[in-house]
Structure 1
Amino acid sequence: MSLIKRRMWWFSVLLLSLTCVAIAKADTQPGWWDRAWWSDGQLPVPDNYGVQVERFEISTDEVDVPVFMARPDAQGDFPGVLFVHGRRGVDPLLQGHVRRLAARGFVVYAPDLYQARFIETMPIEHDYVLESDLNEVLNAIIAGPRHGGNKLCVYSHTRGGYLALKLAVTFERQADALACFVSYYPHMQDPNAPEPMQVYRYALEADQLRIPSMIFVGENEQYQRKRGIDTAVESMRDKGLPVQLFTYPGIGRGFDFRDLPIRTFADDLATRDALQRSSQFMHQHLSP
């Protein structure tokens, strides 16, 4: 064998050995490592469904709660999501978020708790009766399901995050009706609590949230709101509770519904990422 051929043979052996080592090393990469992407260039493609919308009312002992519902325009059973609004109520911008979530393969119920109680949008004070109303709405959704499965995930933003937290913990619905908790920049404190509690404390119910939880917040969120979220999540993690927090750099408040001309490209990137992450998360925990 000539010198050139021997060198080429040894080079081939070395290259094969390095490839085997690289493959073995890739198999031991951390959980976030996506070998399909790194090796084969595959990116996840979300499910996309057409969406149909329905409006109806849920009657409790005291009020009639209007519900904006969106679902995939397709045959079959889809898991249910309870969407809890913030101070905006269920306005057209929020309805857009509901439709975008439904397009990922969910039946999404968005009750308008303010309209049921004739509360104007953007209220300053929190009315505690809304917590009971939300619990009654959940009872009615479970009693007359339009979705598949025995449980729902509760999905919220801003002040709705506090309502969702109370629903899961204070009303103990994490024990029988809720499979997971998702919230965008949630208000993790009683909105009626005094200022020092708003800035330096969080609602202690967070320490009792046992169901898997996923929270999204922008890096440029209001200081008093973000501090409460960060502190609550840190405490939950210290207690071993199943919570994930995603913080988007350079992003402010309202990125999930902010419309043109205010909306930025960064808002859109964060919204798409959060919607895809939360959809995968909820499908995982709502699967039979």
Structure 2
Amino acid sequence: MKELKKEDISQEVFDLYDDYAHNKIDRKEFLQKLSLFAVGAITLPALLSFISPNYKDTLVIKENDPRVVSETVHYESPKGGKKMNGLLSKPSNTKGKLPGVLVVHENRGLNPYIKDVGKRVALENFISLAPDALAPLGGYPGNDDDGRALQRKRDRNEMLEDFIAGYEYLKNHKDCNGNIGVVGFCFGGYISNMMAVKLPDLKAAVPYYGRQPETEDARKIKAPLLLQYAGLDKRVNEGWPAFEKVLKENNIDYQAHFYPKVNHGFHNNTTPRFDKEAADLSWERTIAFFKKHVKSS
């Protein structure tokens, strides 16, 4: 069987996966359309395996890494009306209180990639919390397909309140100095934008390829924003001009970076949408932004 490489895959396949991952088409239609690209030595099972997340071999921070301490914590979400949990991570050599970063997952729950991101944040000398919006439904079910199905059962505004409750939990944690930033990916990017709308004390927000707030909401933003966009992400990027207009008109502190020729999800190193150059540069910018706005606050 031919070993697939990123350059073997048509951009249409990435666009098709994006439609499936964001619930624009169901699995049956996804497989039907994907089969059209299975030609010659490229079989449908091989194509499906290649495009799907690989969590086994992609962890940046290994489970037993002695540099970071992680634990599952539980908290209440009064406005969301839910019992929540998440992965709390901090460097193992912690001395004194640390600034905090909330890490918000995509539209499929707290999967291994997002847990790993939480640990990456901790190694930069922050205390991080990565909540699981699927906690009220039993938590991330072990695969992204079922995770997406579960998350569709939840109300988006209730989930926003659950993440805000996570912000409050982290802000008041004994090892946190009360300064909090947020980073989120896809759905989590939207939540990061909305937390900047809802929380005037938020120190910084870094939405990755996240849907933008409505104009009336965007005007309320007080936190500095670092906005990370994928050049090929037409679906999300179409909302940028209106958002940029509001940010400029209201003198909101923001930086926006568009990474050319990369797909939505370029930071996620578990799928072939991953682009190492863009991911590394965007992450360097993210950590520098947090060190400036969260640590120095």
- Using the size of structure 2 for normalisation, the TM-score is 0.67
In structure 2, do the counterparts of structure 1 residues 160 and 263 end up closer, same or farther at CA, with 3 Å as the change threshold? Answer: closer
SS of the aligned residue for 1:121 comes to: helix
1:242 aligns to what?
A: 253
- Following superposition, the deviation at residue 230 of structure 1 comes to 4.1
2:69 aligns to what?
A: 52
- Following superposition, the deviation at residue 263 of structure 1 comes to 5.4
1:9 aligns to what?
A: none
In structure 2, do the counterparts of structure 1 residues 57 and 109 end up closer, same or farther at CA, with 3 Å as the change threshold? Answer: same
2:218 aligns to what?
A: 206
2:209 aligns to what?
A: 185
Which structure has the larger Rg?
Answer: 1
Unaligned runs of 5+ in 2: 1-65, 140-145
Q: 1:227 aligns with which of 218, 231, 238?
A: 238
Q: 1:143 is aligned with what amino acid?
A: N
2:163 aligns to what?
A: 134
Cα distance in 2 for partners of 1:203, 1:91 equals 32
2:48 aligns to what?
A: none
Cα distance in 1 for partners of 2:156, 2:205 equals 22
- Following superposition, the deviation at residue 187 of structure 1 comes to 1.6
Number of aligned pairs?
219
2:181 aligns to what?
A: 153
- Following superposition, the deviation at residue 216 of structure 1 comes to 0.5
What are the equivalent positions in structure 2 for 1:30-179 lying under 5 Å apart?
50-61=67-78, 62-76=81-95, 77-118=97-138, 121-122=147-148, 123-124=151-152, 126-147=155-176, 149-170=177-198, 173-174=199-200, 176=201, 178-179=202-203
Q: Is the 8 A contact 2:172 2:178 kept in 1?
A: no
Residues 1:253 and 2:270 are matched in the alignment: no
SS of the aligned residue for 2:239 comes to: helix
The CA deviation string for residues 102-152 of structure 1, in whole angstroms up to 9 with x for no partner, is: 2222111111122234586224474321222222222222233322x2220
SS of the aligned residue for 1:95 comes to: helix
Sequence identity (%): 21
1:13 aligns to what?
A: none
Cα distance in 1 for partners of 2:190, 2:85 equals 20
Q: Is the 8 A contact 2:208 2:227 kept in 1?
A: yes
Cα distance in 1 for partners of 2:123, 2:216 equals 34
In structure 2, do the counterparts of structure 1 residues 57 and 114 end up closer, same or farther at CA, with 3 Å as the change threshold? Answer: same
2:283 aligns to what?
A: 275
Cα distance in 2 for partners of 1:83, 1:229 equals 22
- Using the size of structure 1 for normalisation, the TM-score is 0.68
Q: Is the 8 A contact 1:97 1:257 kept in 2?
A: no
Q: 2:172 is aligned with what amino acid?
A: A
Cα distance in 2 for partners of 1:156, 1:263 equals 17
Q: Is the 8 A contact 2:265 2:273 kept in 1?
A: no
Unaligned runs of 5+ in 1: 1-48, 190-201
Cα distance in 2 for partners of 1:179, 1:135 equals 14
SS of the aligned residue for 2:180 comes to: strand
SS of the aligned residue for 2:113 comes to: helix
More moved, 58-67 vs 239-248: 58-67
Cα distance in 2 for partners of 1:98, 1:255 equals 17
Cα distance in 1 for partners of 2:244, 2:194 equals 16
